[in-house]
Amino acid sequence: MKQKIAALFHQVHGRAPTFITRAPGRIEFIGNHTDYNGGTVLGASIDRDVWVAVAPRTDGLRRFYSDYSGKVVELSAAVIEKQTGEASWINYPLGVLAALLVFKLQAPQGFDYVAVSDLPTGAGLSSSAAIELASGLAFLALTEQHPDRETLVKIGKHAENHFVGVPCGILDQGVSGFGKKDHLVFIDCKGPHFDTVPLPGSANFWIFNTHTKHALVDGLYAARHRECMEAAKALGVGLLVEATSAQVEAAKTVLSGNAYKRAKHVVDEIARVDEAVAVLKTGELDKVGHLLTASHRSSQHLFENSTPELDFLVDRLAATLNVHGARLTGGGFGGAVMALTSPAFGDAQAQAVAADYAAKFGARPDILHMKTGDGAERV
């Protein structure tokens, strides 16, 4: 990929890039919508990435190109305004440029920029966090600045929250930034505090991308965020991580129906994350799988961010030999399902699941066999 982006950069901009960076997508292993509620979450950085190449310019122009759009977008360095239409993809690097200033860091002025990816968009694998972190590393290289990894992660989150407009927690950027091959990233989001948890070598990830709608900016994610904040306020806590299961049950009669369901999901999900960390240390992947499937059922019935397509895949996979468990991965409302499997689960079984899905919904899901990978880096 390094050679590919260097060649594309030369083709588009007529010269070699000065710096190349990459940042991985991530699998949300368990901890659905717990991050912005101050809870805990487990994620895995994967071996699919967004790559960014840059070179400085002296004329104050910023020229953006990606293999996703196929067109150059040229802006003055004086302009950091949200883009629409075909140019909307550059809101991610633009948001990072704006965030650098908020963190008292220098933003590069003129530059040429190319982004390429082997990470599918709209599949719940957080291509947005990957482009934010790869862009952040590239811009910091141009300006010869070296903030710590946590600051890089927070810059990406700030870009997503305040420029792109998605009120996400720190899961996506944290996992992309702190990822480590053959490990999961554990995040205590209230800190935030980042750690890694060894993943048994027999663990395999399969992603089934439904290509159903996964547009978080359209308000569904924001609505769930608002409902969680309202539930926390009604329970008398700052964030739902501070509530106990007993408190939620005791307040069931005074909480609205949605507030109760959202709070119960989040509080129970945080408990599942902590249990998963303990079980992973024993290597009992069947027990971990049960927690994953329980997480999906909670998303399905309590948080209501699943879809019939995702539910079908989880049902089908949970009943399949060599599958430990399955759940939606990412924000929900479409996107993808992750299955945790043994090495004995192979392409033939995956294709059989896809065929059954196609018979019901009329289109086959994409199948991706993922491995863990290292976090964002300059290459």
Name the pTM for this structure.
0.89
Q: Is 118 a catalytic residue?
A: no
Over the stretch 142-194, which tens digit does the pLDDT of each residue have?
A: 999 999 999 999 999 999 999 998 877 788 999 999 999 999 999 999 889 99
* pLDDT the model gives residue 237: 97
Residue 68's pLDDT is: 86
Confidence at residue 217, expressed as pLDDT on a 0 to 100 scale: 45
CA-to-CA distance for 23 and 119, rounded, in angstroms?
10
CB of 175 within 8 A of CB of 185?
yes
Which neighbouring-strand residues pair with 339?
A: 206, 326
Give every residue of the chain whose pLDDT is below 70, as ranges: 122-124, 214-218
Q: Which domains does the chain have, with CATH numbers?
A: 2-199 (3.30.230.10), 204-370 (3.30.70.890)
Q: Token pair 């710096």 is at which residue?
A: 19
Q: What is the pLDDT of residues 213-260, one digit of tens each?
A: 755 546 788 889 999 999 999 999 999 999 999 999 999 998 988 999
Instruction: Considering the candidates 35, 49, 112, 172, report the single residue annotated as catalytic.
Output: 172
Cα gap 234→227, rounded to integer Å: 10
